[in-house]
Chain A
Amino acid sequence: MKSIRKSILMSALAVSLLSAAGMAHARDLTIALATEPSSMDPQFHSLTPNIQISETIFDPLVRTDAVAKPIPSLAESWTVNGNVWLFKLRPNVKFSDGSPFTAEDVVFTYARVPKVPNSPSSFNLYLKSIEKVEAVDPLTLRITTDGPSPVLLANLSVVPIMSKKAVSGPAPEGKTTVELNRGDGLIGTGPYKFVSWKRGAEIVLERNLHYWGGRPAWDKVIYRPITKPAARVAALLAGDVDMIENPPTDDLARLEKDTKLHIQKTPSVRVIYIALNQGKDVPAGVSGTDGKNPMTDKRVREALSLAIDRNAIVARIMDGVALPAANLLPYPAFGTSKKYATAPAADLAKARELLAAAGYPKGFTLSLGSPNGRYINDQRIAQSVAAMWANIGVKTNVETMAPPVFFKKRNTYAFSTYLAGWAAATGEMSHPLTSLVLSHDPALGIGTTNWFHYSNTGLDRLVQDASKTQDDGKRSEMLQRAGEMAMSDYAILPLQFELSVWAMKQDVRYGGRSDQLTLAQDITLAK
Chain B
Amino acid sequence: MSALVFAALYMIGDPVLMLASPEAGDAERELIRQSFGLDLPLWRQYLIFLNKVFVHLDFGKSFLTGEPAIGLILDRMPATLELATAAMLFAVLIGVPLGIYAGLKPESFGARSVMTGSVLGFSLPNFWVGLMLIMVFAVFLHWMPAGGRGPVQAFGPIQLSIFSWAGWRSLILPVATIAVAKCALIVRVTRAATRECLPQDYIKFARARGLSEARVLGVHLLKNILIPIVTVAGLEYGQVFAFAVVTESVFSWPGMGKLLIDSIITLDRPVVVAYLILTVVFLSLLNLVVDVIYTILDPRVQSKARA
Contact = CB atoms under 8 A, between A and B. Distances in A.
B24 A121 contact: yes
A224 B253 CA distance: 11
B252 A224 contact: yes
Interface in B39-70: 61, 63-67
A275 to B, nearest CB: 13
B267 A404 contact: yes
B76 A403 contact: no
Contacts of A224: 148, 252
Residue from the set A178, A201, A202, A408 with the largest chain B CB neighbour count within 10 Å: A201
B148 A404 contact: no
A369 B139 CA distance: 39
Contact of A407 (B13, B79, B131, B142): B13
A122 B66 CA distance: 13
A120 B139 CA distance: 39
A230 B258 CA distance: 15
Interface stretch (A233-241, A387-395, A474-482, A511-519): A233-241
A326 B293 CA distance: 70
A364 to B, nearest CB: 30
Given A227-B249, A231-B147, A125 B139 contact: no
A504 to B, nearest CB: 16
Contacts of B14: 404, 407-408
Interface in A320-339: none
A174 to B, nearest CB: 15
A29 B72 CA distance: 27
Interface in B243-267: 249-252, 254-255, 258-259, 262, 265-267
A425 B138 CA distance: 38
Contact of A231 (B26, B27, B64, B252): B252
A240 B134 CA distance: 12
B145 A240 contact: yes
A201 B148 contact: yes
B251 A125 contact: no
A17 interface: no
B66 A125 contact: no
Given A125-B28, A225-B252, A408-B13, A435 B22 contact: yes
Interface string B139-181: 1001001111100100000000000000000000000000000
A14 interface: no
Nearest to A405: B13
B258 A122 contact: no
Interface in A191-235: 198-202, 224-228, 230-231, 234-235
A404 B13 contact: yes
Given A234-B138, A404-B18, A405-B12, A448 B24 contact: yes
A198 B258 CA distance: 14
Interface in B75-101: 75-76, 79
Please indicate which of the listed interface residues B79, B139, B252 has the most CB atoms of chain A within 10 Å of its own CB. Answer: B252
Contacts of B131: 230, 234
Nearest to B143: A238
Interface in A141-180: 177-178
Nearest to A199: B75
B21 A121 contact: yes
Contacts of A405: 12-13
B148 A202 contact: yes
A122 B31 CA distance: 10
A486 B12 CA distance: 34
B39 to A, nearest CB: 14
Contacts of B67: 177-178, 181
A235 B27 CA distance: 43
Interface residues of A, number: 51
A411 interface: yes
B77 to A, nearest CB: 11
B17 A46 contact: no
B54 to A, nearest CB: 23
B123 interface: no
A408 B17 contact: yes
Nearest to A202: B148
A8 to B, nearest CB: 18
Contacts of B267: 404
A200 B258 contact: yes
B25 interface: yes
A247 to B, nearest CB: 14
Contacts of A403: 18, 265
B232 interface: no
A370 to B, nearest CB: 15
Nearest to A116: B66
Contacts of A122: 24, 28, 31-32
A118 interface: yes
A178 B19 CA distance: 18
Contacts of A200: 76, 79, 254-255, 258-259
A445 B28 CA distance: 10
B283 to A, nearest CB: 22
B108 interface: no
B296 interface: no
Contacts of A238: 134, 138-139, 142, 145-146
Given A44-B66, A227-B262, A231-B250, A449 B148 contact: no
B105 to A, nearest CB: 40
B20 interface: yes
A470 interface: no
Nearest to B68: A178
Contacts of B76: 199-200
A442 interface: yes
A198 B151 CA distance: 11
A29 to B, nearest CB: 15
Interface in B224-276: 249-252, 254-255, 258-259, 262, 265-267
A404 B36 CA distance: 17
Contacts of A240: 138, 145-148
Interface in A385-441: 402-405, 407-408, 411, 422, 425, 435
B72 to A, nearest CB: 7
18 contacts: A120-B32, A177-B66, A199-B76, A200-B79, A200-B254, A200-B259, A201-B79, A230-B131, A231-B146, A234-B146, A234-B147, A237-B139, A240-B147, A404-B14, A404-B15, A407-B18, A435-B23, A443-B27
Given A120-B32, A125-B21, A235-B252, 17 more contacts: A39-B66, A118-B36, A121-B21, A124-B28, A224-B252, A227-B258, A227-B262, A231-B251, A234-B139, A238-B142, A238-B145, A239-B142, A404-B18, A408-B14, A411-B17, A448-B22, A449-B23
Interface of A: 38-39, 41, 44-47, 117-122, 124-125, 177-178, 181, 198-202, 224-228, 230-231, 234-235, 237-240, 402-405, 407-408, 411, 422, 425, 435, 442-443, 445, 448-449
**A-B pairs, 3 with minimum CB distance:** A200-B254, A404-B13, A120-B19
